[in-house]
Structure 1
Amino acid sequence: MTTVLDRATASRADDPGPRRRRGRRAVVPYALIVPALLFYAVVVLYPTVAGGVYAFTDWNGRRAATFVGLDNFVQLGTDPAPRSALANTLLIAVSTTLLQTLLGLALALALHTSLVSRNVLRTLFFAPALLPPVIIGFLWQYVLTPSGPMNDALSAVGLGALTQNWLGDPSIALASVIGVIIWQNAGLTMVIYLAGLQGVPEELLEAAAIDGAGRWQRLRRVTLPLLVPATTIAMSLTLIGSLKLFDQVYVMTGGGPGYATETLSVVMYKEAFVSGRYGYSTAIALVLTMIVFAFAFVQLRGLRRFEVDA
Structure 2
Amino acid sequence: MTAVLSRGRSDAPVRSVPGRPAPRRRPTVAPTWFLLPALVVYALVVLYPSLAGSVLAFTDRSGFDPGEWVGLANFEKLLRDDAARAALTNTVAVAVVITVVQTTLGLLLALALNSAIRARNLMRTLFFAPMMLSPIIVGLLWQYIYTPGGPLDSTLEGLGLGFLTRSWLGSDGALWAIVASIIWHHVGIVMAIYLAGLQSIPPELTEAAQVDGAGAVRRFWYVTRPLLGQSTTIVIALTLTASFKLFDQMFVMTGGGPGVSTQTLSLVMYQQAFVYGEYGYGTAIALVLTMIVAAVVFVQLSITRRGEHQV
Bin the TM-score by the shorter chain: 0.7 to 0.9
Is this contact kept in 2: 1:246–1:265, CA < 8 A?
yes
Q: 1:262-289: CA deviations, max 9, x gaps? A: 0000000000110000000000000000
Residues 75-113 of structure 1: CA distance to partner in whole angstroms, max 9, x if unpaired? Answer: 100101110000000001000000000000000001001
* AA aligned opposite 1:110: A
Does residue 273 (structure 1) correspond to residue 299 (structure 2)? The answer is no
What displacement does 1:309 show?
A: 2.1
> 1:113 matched to which residue of 2?
115
Runs (5+) with no aligned partner, structure 1: 1-26
CA contact 1:60–1:278 (8 Å) conserved in 2:
yes
Equivalent residue, structure 2, for 1:261: 262
Contact 1:54 1:65 in 2 (8 A): no
Shift in Å at residue 30 of structure 1?
7.1
Q: Does the residue aligned with 1:305 lie in a helix, a strand or coil?
A: helix
Q: Which residue of 2 aligns with 1:176?
A: 177
Aligned to 2:187: 186
Q: Deviations over 1:174-230 (max 9, x none)?
A: 110111111111111000000000111111111111111111111111001111110
Moved more, 237-246 or 152-161: 152-161
User: Matched residue of 1:55: which SS?
Assistant: helix
- The match for 2:247 is 246
The CA RMSD measured in Å over matched residues stands at 1.8
- 1:26-50 Cα shifts (integer Å, max 9, x gaps): x9x979964x556534431232112
Q: Which residue of 2 aligns with 1:23?
A: none
Match status 1:136 vs 2:149: no
CA 64–125 in structure 1, closer or farther in 2 if over 3 Å, else same: same
Question: Which residue number corresponds to residue 291 of structure 2?
Answer: 290
Residue 302 (structure 1) aligns with: 303
1:28-47 counterparts in 2 under 5 A? 34=37, 39-47=41-49
**Letter matched to residue 285 of structure 2:** I
Q: Give the letter for the 1:234 counterpart.
A: V
Superposed, 1:71-220 pairs within 5 Å as 71-169=73-171, 171-220=172-221
Cα distance in 1 for partners of 2:42, 2:35 equals: 13
Partner AA of 1:276 in structure 2: G
Letter matched to residue 72 of structure 2: L
Distance in 1, Cα, partners of 2:145 & 2:301: 36
User: What per-residue deviation string (whole Å, max 9, x for no partner) do you get for residues 282-308 of structure 1?
Assistant: 000000000000000000000001111
Rounded to whole Å, the distance in 2 between the matches of 1:297 and 1:31 is: 29
Matched letter for residue 181 of structure 1: I
Residues in 2 aligned to 1:42 and 1:68: alpha-carbon distance in whole angstroms:
27
* Structure 2 residue identity aligned to 1:216: V
SS of residue in 1 equivalent to 2:307? coil
TM-score where L is the length of structure 2: 0.87
Q: Distance in 1 between matches of 2:35 and 2:288?
A: 36
Shift of 1:61: 3.4
- Alignment-mate amino acid for residue 305 of structure 1: R
What's 1:224 paired with? 225
Distance in 1, matches of 2:116 and 2:87, equals: 45
Equivalent residue of 1:69, what SS? coil
Are 1:177 and 1:249, in contact at CA under 8 Å, matched by a contact in 2? yes
Match of 2:71 among 69, 72, 76: 69
Distance across 2 between alignment mates of 1:41 and 1:307: 32
Instruction: Identify unmatched segments of 5+ residues in structure 2.
Output: 1-29
Q: Is the Cα contact below 8 Å between 1:129 and 1:187 reproduced in 2?
A: yes
- Could you say which structure has the higher helix fraction? 1
Deviation string, structure 1 residues 114-155 (Cα, Å, up to 9, x no partner): 112100000000011121001000110111011211111111
What is the distance in 1 between the residues matched to 2:133 and 2:310?
35
Q: State the percentage of identical aligned residues.
A: 56
Please tell me the residue identity of whatever aligns with 1:100: Q
